[in-house]
């Protein structure tokens, strides 16, 4: 059974159950009130008649007296203590009541009885006869009017229930359409994606931010994520095949040269091994950078915590100087400068910019740490060849090299600054790059404190 059909069925069944319970409660309550009202009226009438009859017995013949107070639809009779009918009078419509066996009751009695499949009000009151004996004055009245009223109410409630189910069916169908609409749209979109191989999103409508809207929004976000990862995968394959082609070709050429003449010529052997080793290292670095770039921002597993930027820059600078034997000039106030970031990722970011500055400048690198209004700033400046103003917007593009010959010579892959941009975006760091050809380049990292 489809979900829409289930919604229609369950909604209608539940509403019908509620209607039946409510109408049943109304029917039972009204029935009790109606019969109770008739019983109270009959009881009051009995007290009035018994008082008049008690005073009139002996003066007026019993048959004549009872005929004067017989109910319109009922019977009145006198019953002796032995249970015998002393006098009985019935209305024209209730002749059969006279056949009912009389019973004597010691006290006042008021109850509903059933005789020949019909309901009656039965009232019995002890009275004293002129002879001094005790007898019962009994009045039996049909409850048919009350039964008809209750029956009419039952029919009305039944038709009201059936009539109410019509709009319930229509509203449940509309409700099912509203609820299932986004799900159906999602299924259609998924089928289109499977059939065409192209990513699509659901068109979200309505201003309400209910769970259905959130579900559609989550689906669209998931599609965006899948599309982004799919594009990254395609880009990774394209970039990897493009960049790995050159080192693989070099390794292949030198390995072939080794097989032909390397064993006989030590110079060729040394040159080939050095070239193969160099390209292997570059391939390793390139692969690591590609794998990092292939990650989505949400996959960086960041650990954001307060970090003293001064201490972090000092330790990173010392490690860089020892690793590359390069001179770095550090400028700062000496006071702690705290920013929330990921310490390890920030170190990696600093090393990328320091290493890039080292490759393009033989002069000392300058690092300045300080404040710029409401932001903390780390600036790394070199006095290298600089970058043309037209090329500045492109330096963070993957595999873009300002000086392709020199980059290749120094082992650059064109991925360092692109990776730096990815890390900075993940950390929420704003980058500003300034450069002048022949004067050097500076990159500033802005942190929100």
Other beta carbons less than 10 A from residue 216's beta carbon:
22
For residue 263, what are its two tokens?
A: 């064993």
The predicted structure's pLDDT at residue 5: 75
The predicted structure's pLDDT at residue 6: 76
Q: Given phi > 0 = left and psi -120 to 50 = alpha, else beta, which region is 152?
A: alpha
What is the rounded distance in angstroms from the CA atom of residue 395 to the CA atom of residue 389?
11
Assess contact for 232 and 294: CB atoms under 8 A: yes
The predicted structure's pLDDT at residue 255: 84
Name residue, tokens 């080939």. Answer: 272
The predicted structure's pLDDT at residue 293: 63
Assess contact for 417 and 380: CB atoms under 8 A: no
According to DSSP, the β-strands at 328-331 and 338-341 are: unpaired
Q: What is the pTM of this model?
A: 0.47
What is the rounded distance in angstroms from the CA atom of residue 182 to the CA atom of residue 48?
73
The predicted structure's pLDDT at residue 59: 84
For residue 307, what are its two tokens?
A: 């970090």
Assess contact for 293 and 236: CB atoms under 8 A: yes
The predicted structure's pLDDT at residue 206: 61
Assess contact for 282 and 250: CB atoms under 8 A: no
Alpha-carbon dihedral of residues 228, 232, 233, 239, nearest 10 degrees?
160
Residue 258: which residues within 8 A CB-CB, separation 6 or more? 268, 269, 272, 273
The predicted structure's pLDDT at residue 418: 78
Map residue 100 onto helix, strand or coil: coil
The predicted structure's pLDDT at residue 408: 41
Residue 49's closest CA among 66, 26, 64?
Answer: 66
Quickly list H helices, 108-210: 144-196
In whole angstroms, how far apart are CA 205 and each of 14, 25, 132? Answer: 30, 43, 93
Residue 223's closest CA among 196, 198, 195?
Answer: 198
Domains of the chain and CATH, by start:
3-150 (3.30.450.20), 211-293 (1.10.287.130), 302-448 (3.30.565.10)
Beta bridge partners of 34: none
Assess contact for 167 and 200: CB atoms under 8 A: no
Torsions phi, psi for 127 (to 5 deg): -135, 160
- Counting Cα atoms < 13 Å in the Cβ hemisphere of 14 gives 7
What is the rounded distance in angstroms from the CA atom of residue 441 to the CA atom of residue 423?
20
The predicted structure's pLDDT at residue 407: 44
The secondary structure element, H or E, covering residue 75 is strand 74-80
Name residue, tokens 């019969």. Answer: 35
For residue 8, what are its two tokens?
A: 């229609």
Residue 5: which residues within 8 A CB-CB, separation 6 or more? 176
The predicted structure's pLDDT at residue 215: 78
Assess contact for 378 and 367: CB atoms under 8 A: yes
Helices then strands (H, E): number in the chain? Answer: 9, 12
Question: What distance, in Å, lies between the first and last C-alpha atoms of the chain?
Answer: 57
DSSP characters over 213-262: HHHHHHHHHHHHHHHHHHHHHHHHHHHHHHHHHHHHHHHHHHHHHIIIII
What is the rounded distance in angstroms from the CA atom of residue 75 to the CA atom of residue 69?
9
Going residue by residue through the chain, which has 449 residues, state the pLDDT in tens, using 9 for 90 and above: 676 777 777 888 888 889 899 999 999 999 999 999 999 999 999 999 988 888 888 888 888 888 889 998 999 999 999 988 888 999 988 999 988 899 999 889 999 999 988 899 999 999 998 888 899 999 999 999 999 999 999 999 999 888 888 888 888 778 777 777 777 777 888 888 888 877 777 777 666 677 777 777 888 888 888 888 787 777 767 766 766 776 787 788 878 888 887 677 888 888 888 878 877 876 776 677 667 666 655 556 778 999 999 999 998 888 888 777 889 999 988 888 999 998 888 988 898 888 888 888 888 999 999 998 789 999 999 988 888 887 877 787 766 666 544 444 444 556 678 778 888 888 899 999 998 888 889 999 999 87
């Amino acid at each position: 059974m489809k979900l829409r059909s289930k919604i229609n069925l369950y909604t209608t069944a539940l509403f019908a159950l509620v209607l039946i319970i409510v109408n049943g409660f109304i029917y039972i309550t009204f029935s009790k009130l109606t019969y109770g009202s008739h019983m109270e009226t009959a009881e009051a009438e009995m007290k009035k008649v018994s008082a008049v009859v008690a005073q009139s017995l002996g003066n007026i013949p019993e048959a004549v007296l009872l005929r004067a107070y017989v109910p319109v639809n009922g019977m009145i009779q006198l019953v002796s203590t032995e249970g015998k009918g002393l006098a009985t009078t019935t209305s024209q419509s209730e002749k059969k009541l006279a056949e009912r066996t009389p019973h004597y009751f010691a006290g006042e009695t008021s109850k509903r009885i059933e005789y020949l499949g019909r309901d009656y009000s039965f009232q019995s009151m002890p009275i004293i006869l002129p002879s001094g004996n005790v007898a019962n004055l009994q009045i039996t009245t049909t409850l048919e009017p009350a039964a008809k009223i209750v029956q009419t109410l039952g029919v009305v409630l039944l038709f009201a229930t059936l009539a109410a189910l019509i709009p319930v069916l229509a509203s449940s169908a509309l409700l099912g359409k509203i609820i299932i609409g986004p799900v159906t749209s999602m299924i259609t979109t998924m089928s289109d994606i499977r059939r065409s191989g192209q990513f699509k999103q659901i068109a979200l409508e309505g201003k309400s931010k209910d769970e259905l809207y959130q579900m559609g929004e989550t689906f669209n976000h998931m599609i965006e994520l899948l599309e982004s990862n799919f594009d990254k995968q395609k880009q990774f394959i394209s970039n990897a095949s493009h960049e790995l082609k050159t080192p693989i070709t070099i390794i292949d050429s030198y390995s072939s040269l080794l097989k032909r003449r390397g064993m006989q010529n030590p110079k060729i052997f040394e040159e080939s091994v050095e070239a193969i080793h160099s390209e292997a290292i570059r391939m390793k670095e390139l692969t690591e950078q590609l794998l990092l770039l292939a990650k989505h921002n949400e996959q960086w597993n960041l650990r954001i915590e307060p970090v003293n930027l001064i201490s972090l820059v000092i330790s990173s600078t010392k490690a860089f100087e020892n690793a590359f034997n390069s001179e770095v000039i550090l400028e700062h106030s000496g006071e702690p400068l705290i920013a929330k970031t990921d310490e390890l990722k920030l170190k990696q970011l600093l090393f990328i910019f320091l290493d890039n500055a080292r490759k393009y400048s033989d002069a000392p690198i300058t690092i300045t740490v300080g404040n710029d209004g409401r932001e903390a700033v780390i600036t790394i400046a070199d006095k290298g060849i600089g970058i043309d103003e037209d090329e500045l917007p492109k330096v963070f593009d993957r595999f873009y090299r300002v000086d392709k010959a020199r980059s290749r010579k120094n082992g650059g892959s064109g991925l360092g600054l692109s990776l730096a941009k990815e890390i900075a975006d993940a950390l929420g760091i704003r980058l500003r790059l300034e450069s002048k050809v022949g004067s050097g380049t500076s990159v500033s990292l802005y942190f929100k404190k």
